[in-house]
Amino acid sequence: AMATVFSQATMTVFIILYGSSKYSWLKCGYRKTSFSGAVIREGIQFGLPPMLQSSISSLGGLVLQDFMNRFGTDTVTAITTAYRIDTLVMLPIVNLGSGISTFTAQNYGAKDEVRTRKTLFAGTLLAILISLGLTGLVIPTGGKIIALFGAGTTAVTIGSAFFQRIACFYPIFGLATAFRGYLEGKGDLLYSSIAGMISLAVRIIASYAMAPNFGNMSIAYAEMLSWVCLLFMYLIRFAKNRKQDLMK
């Protein structure tokens, strides 16, 4: 914990010093015109929803960890290791979503609707291709990668089964991430955060509901279902916004 706090503090100081030395408009100082109510309100509008979502997601993670602990040490070892691997594997998709958000914001701000739609189309296509490639990579190798971390035979078997199920839904996650980036790029952060929190609630409820029939694999199935719900909510929002744009 201390190492985390120290590293974050060091990073903060470095960013402030680097930014203020390289860009004059980032230099810290007090002026009568330093504070703007409009800017502060806008900052709260864009910053508060992701903050709440992050806090609720952390709380949801604790609930899911408690649920996972009920299946024993082997399941905890397997799924925890699998999620760490999964986090690394999914980085290309997550970063692609950030890129879509950035390009969408630029084109939307410039009122270039054609390029905004092209950004979504290209991003969606890339998300599908990348996620399909990751699916083909993870399904045959997931268990072997878990074994590299020193997990026992039972844990490796559980982890392999987990990857074989969840990796099939990487394209769904990829599409959800692409549409999320598009919506957030157009400033729809509140809806995106609400959708993320609903998706987390679906995942928690589904985990407990499916446990009697699917055992520890309910963890994978519940996450898959949450991705489907997330994509569904983003598509509804996209269709609604699209309809409103056409009516203008």
pLDDT in tens, 49-102: 777 777 777 788 888 888 888 898 889 988 999 988 988 999 999 999 999 999
Note the helical H segments in the chain: 2-22, 37-69, 73-89, 91-109, 113-148, 153-166, 170-185, 189-214, 218-247
> 27 with 16: CB under 8 angstroms?
no
Closest by CA position to 96, among listed 128, 65, 66, 61: 128
Q: What is the pLDDT of residue 33?
A: 58
* Burial grade of 164 (CB within 10 A; 0-12, 13-18, 19 or more): middle
pLDDT in tens, 165-201: 999 999 999 999 999 999 999 988 889 889 999 999 9
Closest by CA position to 67, among listed 238, 185, 207, 234: 207
pLDDT in tens, 115-161: 988 999 999 999 999 999 999 999 999 888 888 888 788 988 999 99
pLDDT in tens, 6-35: 999 999 889 888 888 877 767 766 665 566
Q: What is the pLDDT of residue 242?
A: 84
Give the CA distances from residue 23 to residues 12, 16, 45, 136, 183, in Å, rounded to whole numbers and listed in that order.
16, 10, 26, 45, 30
To the nearest 10 degrees (0 to 180), the angle between helices 113-148 and 73-89 is: 140
Task: Map out the domains of the chain as residue ranges.
Answer: 40-247
* CA torsion through residues 211, 214, 215, 221, sign: negative
